[in-house]
Amino acid sequence: MSQVLNPMTLPNDDNVPDNHYAFCINLVSPWFIRKGTMIAYYGQIDFRALTHGLHGGLLHMVAQQFSAPMYFGDYTVAEGQGKLIIGDRGYDINSYDLDDGNLTIRAANLLAFEPGLSMNQSIVPGFVTLLGTGKFLASSNGPVIFVEPPARVDPEALVGWADCPAPSHHYDHGWVTNMIAAGAARFGVNTGEERQFDFTGAGTILVQSSEKVLSDSAVIRTIETQLHGLTMTGLQHLNGVINSQLASQQHR
Amino acid sequence: MFTKVNSKVVKVNVGQVGGVVARAGAMLFYTGQVAFAPHQIPGAGQFGGMGGIVRLAGRMMQGEHERTMLAQGNGEVHYGYAGLDVHTVDIAQGAVLRVEASRLLANTAGLQSSVVSVASSGGSGGGGVMGMLRGAASGALTGQGMFTTQLSGQGSAVLLAHGGVIEMQVGGPSPVVVDPQAFVAAYGNVQTELKTALSWRDAVGRGSGEAMQLHCVGQGIVFVQASEEKL
């Protein structure tokens, strides 16, 4: 029979024994925690929203370290003393230490981070960049695979990258070489791999097995913020594109 | 050949195996120079011509079609799909692997792929109309439809499963009996036949829930997943 855990036997900042899917934080100073990932805790821990009710040191900390207004509603500050257990969709959870480093990660895969790190919105939609020194927790579907550039990565499989330059898009349309294939391509024949992220330079790329359900709320909010100031024709065009996409998804 | 990186990811050197056919959208990342093209559509690669479109239409009618892509070039490609578990199978010359198209992640391009009727693989089902009916019934229950994909030749393939895959030897004195929903694939010369173990209890809703069973006989291996989830 497996061991019954208590505050004494729970690990400090490590995976729960024999379980890749749960992680125990030994909370002594405040952490930023993604909403909905707390599954259990021991001790005295308060969860505070970032948007209101903060004052004093905490407010200062949030103002200093959290420069991604789009994600204000997604995170809380956990403060107090105790053991906090984190889980996310049955995904594998790992902790990473940054030492005056920079790492960009898919927002849906970032679960928690220490305030020694500052969180900034990345240029790439749906991703955030962590700068500074401290620990953070990330989830992945299956174990994370570490890859060295140069490599090309499927956008859905990308968890994040560290130290190397931000990726550029690579489009693979090489197969459309003759008339018939071009016709087929116009009618929606494709490989599903036309768009890849092209990484170059020195650094590390983090890759997972494809996401089961991609949480695209961050991408949607990014698009939303870009909508202001579009022309009438532009909006109508977008409306048409969205409608045809909707129709093809219902058809499937 | 395919190498497992972890329980959900495989890697393969595309140049060494002479091309890889995989589910569309299953590429995770690659290094080197690799190009991806839709497979079995006119004008793509050496599988061109009108034959492709006729084959495609036939396959779609049989419900045994998943969009696939052909990877060619020099480099190492990693594949994974929807966070499902992967399992590699090496196919020897003369043996066949029978697998539902939705459970096939990738195979080396040198393998011949064909669509066969499930009814023809039924052992004692007999020919004629009864055999066809039996095949249809077992197809409906295993979620395979009446047809399944058959790979032959020399090469390697990757199966998809929910939960881990176990390999079970077929060929002993007694048949291997599998839950139809846990059945993934069969390798070698394996006949599958659906048997019912219905009793009056099932009629009044007090059955054991295991009324349908797939009996596997012959010589080979059946692949079983640790879940009853259909793909």
In the predicted model, is pLDDT for residue B230 greater than 90?
Answer: no
The amino acid at residue B16 is: Q
In the predicted model, is pLDDT for residue A175 greater than 70?
Answer: no
Bridge partner list, A187: none
Q: Cα distance from B207 to chain A (closest Cα, Å)?
A: 32
Could you give the angle at the alpha carbon of A225 between the alpha carbons of A219 and A228, nearest 5°?
A: 140
pLDDT digits (tens, 9 = 90+) for B65-74: 678 889 999 9
Say what the pLDDT of residue B133 is.
58
Residue of A nearest to B10 (CA): A209
Which element (helix H / strand E) includes A184?
A: helix A179-186
Query: Out of B29, B31, B48, whose CB is closest to A157?
Result: B29
* B 43-72: CB under 8 A from A: 43-45, 48, 67, 69
| Cβ separation B41–A157 shorter than 8 A | no
In the predicted model, is pLDDT for residue A211 greater than 70?
Answer: no
Judge if pTM exceeds 0.80: no
HSE value, Cβ hemisphere, 13 Å, CA-based, for B168: 23
* Cα B229 from Cα B7, distance rounded (Å): 18
Q: Compute CA distances B142 → A249, B212, B228, whole Å.
A: 26, 10, 10
- Burial class of residue A251, CB neighbours in 10 A (0-12, 13-18, 19+): exposed
Its ipTM equals 0.75
pLDDT digits (tens, 9 = 90+) for B118-143: 654 444 444 455 555 555 555 555 55
Q: Compute CA distances A134 → A100, A114, A130, A237, whole Å.
A: 8, 6, 10, 45
Hey, of B27, B53, B79, B87, which one would you mutate to test binding to chain A, going by the most A CBs within 10 A of its CB?
B27
Q: Cα distance from A194 to chain B (closest Cα, Å)?
A: 8
Which SS3 state, helix, strand or coil, does residue A237 take?
Answer: helix
pLDDT digits (tens, 9 = 90+) for A105-159: 998 899 999 999 999 988 888 889 999 999 999 999 888 999 998 999 988 889 9
A-B CB pairs within 8 A amount to 103
* Cα B71 from Cα A129, distance rounded (Å): 33
Q: What is the mean pLDDT of residues B174-193?
A: 88
Choice between B229 and B199, residue whose per-residue pLDDT is larger: B229
Q: What is the mean pLDDT of residues B218-227?
A: 91
Q: What is the mean pLDDT of residues B85-108?
A: 91
pLDDT digits (tens, 9 = 90+) for B41-55: 433 334 434 445 545
| Cβ separation A180–B30 shorter than 8 A | no
- Burial class of residue B204, CB neighbours in 10 A (0-12, 13-18, 19+): exposed
Say what the pLDDT of residue A142 is.
86
Between A82-96, A181-195, B125-139, B151-165, the lowest mean confidence (pLDDT) is in: B125-139
Hey, of A191, A196, A204, A212, which one would you mutate to test binding to chain B, going by the most B CBs within 10 A of its CB?
A191
Question: What percentage of residues in chain B have a pLDDT greater than 70?
Answer: 70
**What are the chain B neighbours of A210 within 8 Å (beta carbons)?**
25-26, 28, 80-83
**Strand ranges for chain A from DSSP E:** 14-15, 22-27, 31-34, 38-49, 66-67, 75-87, 92-106, 110-113, 117-121, 127-140, 145-147, 151-153, 158-162, 168-171, 195-199, 204-207
Whether A17 and A3 have beta carbons less than 8 Å apart is answered as yes
| Cβ separation A180–B27 shorter than 8 A | no
